[in-house]
Amino acid sequence: MEETLDTVLVEMDEETGLGHITLNRPDKLNTINQQLKSDLTTALKSLREHDKEASGVSVRAVVLEGAGERAFCAGADVSGFGDRTPGQFEQRTIFDRLADFPAPVIAKIEGYCLGGGLELALACDLRLASAESEFGLPEVELGLLPGGGGVQYISRLAGPAVAMEIAMTGKRYSTEFAEETGIVSASYPNSEFDEAVDEFVHELARKPPLALRAIKDAAHRSVETGLAEGRRYDRRVFSTLLETADHEAAAAAFKSDDQPEFEGR
């Protein structure tokens, strides 16, 4: 599957189960405008529909990146702010849709990752960055707070003090800082970046997809519910996964020392 939208490219590799979404406004540092939001929504919908059409799980993981080497996404195209009413910003956003995608989503970050761009990355499940990328939430300079959940996500990943420092100063921070604080999952030298990310996502795609989705859901629930409810969820889903064909394949492969093949059933 391959689809070219005005500002986004979306691909699906049938053999590996890897989806790939590219923000495609390199001349504008992949900044977010209304068209990009619409196209990204369409891309995620296309991948979800493709997933539903399969007999098992077809989308094992999704990579989100920006076109070109200068920016993952340098934030919002602020020229469009004046066209929106305050109430519109309270509606369901592309950040919500990205976070709610059932399969693991990995942000591949190279270059600027600022404002709404950082919030897109934070809405993903894992963030892999090149060593020379830059991170920040500059919305304070416009008299705003980050509206896509940036303070919320960073507070959970790195603590409220780090979130306030980043959002209150509006400064840019290095990949080293982002990795040390847990905002970035892992970083790689620029010369090794593409190969390292490719190896990481292909290894992830070989894991049992139903288990990956359950782990993602459990992690989200961990910050939305109490510990007791979270433990009940884990026990309930664990029992369900014991009945899947993927578990049977893994158990059989373990006994025979073979490599299992998972179908997401």
The three-state secondary structure class of 22 is: strand
Residue 219: Cβ within 10 Å count: 11
Residue 180 annotated in active site: no
8 Å CB contact between 28 and 37: no
Of 65, 110, 134, 139, which residue is the catalytic one? Answer: 139
Residue 163 one-letter amino acid: A
Q: Is the dihedral of CA 47, 49, 55, 57 positive or negative?
A: positive
Residue 139 annotated in active site: yes
Of 65, 110, 119, 134, which residue is the catalytic one? Answer: 119
- Read off the tokens for 120: 């897109």
Q: Provide the Cα torsion 191, 65, 153, 225; round to 10°.
A: -120
Residue 196: Cβ within 10 Å count: 16
Catalytic residue annotation = 119, 139
